[in-house]
Amino acid sequence: MTAKEFVDIAIKQIFPKKCFEKMIVEMDVLNRECVPAVLSRCLGFALTAGSLGILVPQILKIKANKSGAGISLAAQILAIVAAGSTSAYSFEKGFAFSQWGDSLAIFVQTAIIVMQILHYNGNTPGAFSFLAVTWMLTTAVMYHYVPMSALTFLQSATIPIITASKGLQILANYRQGSTGQLSPISVTMAFGGCVARIFTSIQETGDNLVILSYVVATVLNFILVVQLVIYWNVDDKKKKKDVNDVLGMVFKPLILICLVIGFTRYYLQSHFMAAAVVAKPNIFRRAGIKIKEYVQNLANDYKTVIVETAQNSVKRPVRTGMIGTGLVFLGYANRTRPLDSELDLRLVELRQQMALLPISIHSSNADSALHEYTDLLNSERLDLYDCWFFSLLIKREFDRRVYSPVSQDSNLKPWFWERFAHNLVDVGAFGKFYKLEKAFIDYDIKQEEFLCKET
């Protein structure tokens, strides 16, 4: 991708429709239609960028303590379903990436948290099984094998899912009398992100399902923030509560809010004159201090994880060697997996090899394979699926230029596994496509001649 193409894509993502011409070219900076749209896009990208690390403190906290105590596994699974449903629904609907990029980031990070909880609870096979299922479903959504009706149902279900997810965490906090390993930074950022998402969803999509899901998430995240304040530095001896007194879970946040409002009102009334004399605190300085503290805490968390990982590596050299070998193997597989460009180059090389030979000694297997691949590529019926560590070549029923209900409607297409079973052409890994290479073994020997001589 050239720099010009990158700039064009960036402009289209930030300035929807003709807002770039109106606001920049025509200098109509305060255009009523474009200002909210551009502001929504910028806010969406800011939220997406911020969400890339929203759950990193939580992940590092679990890693440092080697425990997922206080974090509800059921709540996290429901959260990943909600985030994944929103991402898949928005992706299939064609919404701007700024609208659902944060959901995708939360989906990935929540999946890591679920794997951590399973691993530290002694269920490492379950963690890897969860990863495999998540990867399979993500691939199915990316290649449009999930019907839109199913995605709409999942998006509709996100509202009760979010309610159940956050509600389980709220109830778990209340029963334990503490927030356990719940990260205050992650919860606060999630609350702020949901508030901003209400505005961007109204501006960008107008989809009532998406808007309502963010409204519900905002309310529940606010309750979690209030719980963090209530249970901050609570002594273990004071954590005993009456589990059946569920009403307390509702009244405590309300009482706290009322107390804060009352105290603030009393303070302003009694110290109004003094407040008028004292200079206002520098809000930018306070914000800078908070950001500095957050970065320092984050750096300390990373440092702790790195040091502990190094210490564990020294203590368990065999395990470290096995994990390192596996990572190197996966990295090598990822780097050497053949893609479209490698397939095209290899076919060119094979055609040149066959052209240098007399037709009389051409291998029929090599000729058939070369014709098959060439015909499928020319008719645009050969799809390459990049599976990160290997590639799959799957034949399409119709070429891409056919626009018929059967060829375009995902509801009428066969399921991915059915296509995989019947239309798998080749598997590529470690720099080559194995079926193609197998067909070109002894490509300069015509097997039919030997069969005739034997008979």
The structural domains of the chain, with segments of one domain joined by +, span 32-235, 340-452
**Could you tell me if 120 and 67 are in contact, meaning their C-beta atoms sit under 8 angstroms apart?**
yes
How far apart, in Å, are the Cα atoms of 46 and each of 43, 101, 313, 436? 5, 10, 37, 46
Per-residue model confidence (pLDDT) at position 234? 57
Q: Which residues contact residue 209 at a Cβ distance below 8 angstroms, ignoring those fewer than 6 apart?
A: 89, 152, 155, 156, 158, 159
Q: What percent of the chain has pLDDT over 70?
A: 78
**Could you tell me if 298 and 59 are in contact, meaning their C-beta atoms sit under 8 angstroms apart?**
no
Per-residue model confidence (pLDDT) at position 278? 42
Biggest alpha carbon distance in the chain? Answer: 114
Burial 410-423 (b: 16+ CB within 10 A, else e): eeebeebeebeeeb
Q: What is the Cα–Cα distance from 406 to 305, expressed in whole angstroms?
A: 52
Per-residue model confidence (pLDDT) at position 371? 92
* Tally of residues, the chain: 455
Per-residue model confidence (pLDDT) at position 320? 81
Burial class (CB in 10 A: 0-12, 13-18, 19+), 170: buried
How far apart, in Å, are the Cα atoms of 386 and each of 84, 126, 343, 400? 21, 25, 13, 18
Q: Closest Cα partner for 360 from 448, 454, 451?
A: 448
Per-residue model confidence (pLDDT) at position 452? 54
* pLDDT tens, position by position, 400-433: 677 666 666 667 666 666 767 788 899 999 999 9
**10-residue mean pLDDT series, the chain (455 residues):** 66 73 76 77 78 81 82 82 84 80 87 90 86 88 83 78 75 76 74 77 72 81 83 54 43 51 50 43 68 78 78 81 86 90 91 89 89 89 87 83 67 68 88 91 78 54
- What is the chain's mean pLDDT, rounded? 77
Per-residue model confidence (pLDDT) at position 290? 73
**393's tokens:** 């070549």
The SS3 of residue 372 is helix
First-to-last C-alpha distance (Å) of the chain: 59
Per-residue model confidence (pLDDT) at position 295? 77
Per-residue model confidence (pLDDT) at position 92? 85
Q: What is the Cα–Cα distance from 323 to 117, expressed in whole angstroms?
A: 20
**119's tokens:** 């691993």
**Could you tell me if 362 and 443 are in contact, meaning their C-beta atoms sit under 8 angstroms apart?**
yes
Burial class (CB in 10 A: 0-12, 13-18, 19+), 131: middle
Per-residue model confidence (pLDDT) at position 436? 92
Helix (H) or strand (E) holding 394: strand 391-395
